[in-house]
Amino acid sequence: MSVLTLASLGFKPSDTTSNFAGGRAIRSPSAKKPSKVWNPDDWWIVPGNNGDDVLSVTDMDPREWNEFPLILIITELADPLDNKLNRFIELYSPNKSNYEIVEDLILVRYEDATGIPRSIPYINLKGMVINQDGFLVLCVEGSWWSTAQCTSTYPPTQFVGTTTGTMKIAIMEGTLPSPQGKIVDIFGVPTSDGGDNDFSDGRALRVRSIETPKNQFLRSDWIIIPGTGSGTVSSSLFDPGLWLDCGAGGCASDPSPSPPSSPSTPSKGKSPKAPAPSAPSKGAPSKGAPSKNKMRKQRRARFVRRV
């Protein structure tokens, strides 16, 4: 007797990419054809017992099959020692590319210890397009970063990141900054003076394995390099649109990211399959460094949703 396999969840018993203990496994609505081969890209895995995301009955939706929600995190804040016009804020989505943001999300900053976000400036993220590699980079007008690297540019007075490295930055739900706004992801503690997250004249880079939004700041999730003494970080050491772990002193050996090819026009709220990225124009990844596509495939199997 032969058995037809219509779908497979997991590659083998020891495969951890399919572990949804205490949580749920949701197939992508775009993966409607049966498959006898396990493809992590077709699934959204939510391990509910991993400490960060605990799921209950109310989080389930039987008889509903919805698209994966947008996951968006802050991955880098730059405050170069040599040129403040080269400041930028880098955001990343591990599960959306070539995607126009339809969610009401804003980027806000906290400058003191009151815990109240500044009413101005703030940046409305709705309508912006996450590029084919999952990045959204916000820059200052007049920087030396290319238009291929920057999603959008702002005058210094309107840029959220044009303060010292003691600022706190958050992705918040809503259309206007509010003390009652729900924080999606944050760098820094809003009620502190910023001393624990000071990256003045340097950079704050998120640890590459941290792909889950955090509504509370955890210092161990970040590599913070103040630009004083041996930690000096100049503009030439930054890499907007490329997420790699770096140690103190910057990333002098990191490859320069190549300008992405022009993406197709995205559909609102949808994330069409992105074209393959072009080959790097300068340098090449160091031996053993994973490609962006490989990194994304490895990440997609570990998607989690904040509850």
| pLDDT per position as a tens digit, 4-30 | 444 455 545 556 667 788 788 888 888
E-strand ranges in 129-175 read 129-130, 135-140, 152-154, 168-173
CB 261 within 8 A of CB 94: no
What is the structure's pLDDT at 117?
94
Q: Convert the pLDDT of each residue in 257-276 to its tens digit.
A: 333 334 444 545 644 443 33
Average pLDDT value over all residues in the chain: 75
Counting residues of the chain whose pLDDT is more than 70, the rounded percentage is: 69
| Residues 6 or more apart in contact with residue 2 via CB below 8 angstroms | none
- What pLDDT, in 10s, does the model give residues 57-101? 877 889 888 878 899 999 999 999 888 999 999 999 988 989 999
Q: Which of 76-85, 130-139, 240-249 has the lowest mean pLDDT?
A: 240-249
With a CB cutoff of 8 Å and minimum separation 6, the contacts of 193 are: 112, 113, 166
**Residue 117 burial (C-beta neighbours within 10 Å; 0-12, 13-18, 19+):** buried
Beta-carbon-side half-sphere exposure of residue 190 (alpha carbons within 13 Å)? 21
Q: How confident is the model at residue 161 (pLDDT cuts 50, 70, 90)?
A: confident
How many CB atoms neighbour CB 181 within 10 A? 16
Q: In whole angstroms, what is the distance from residue 76 CA to residue 91 CA? A: 7
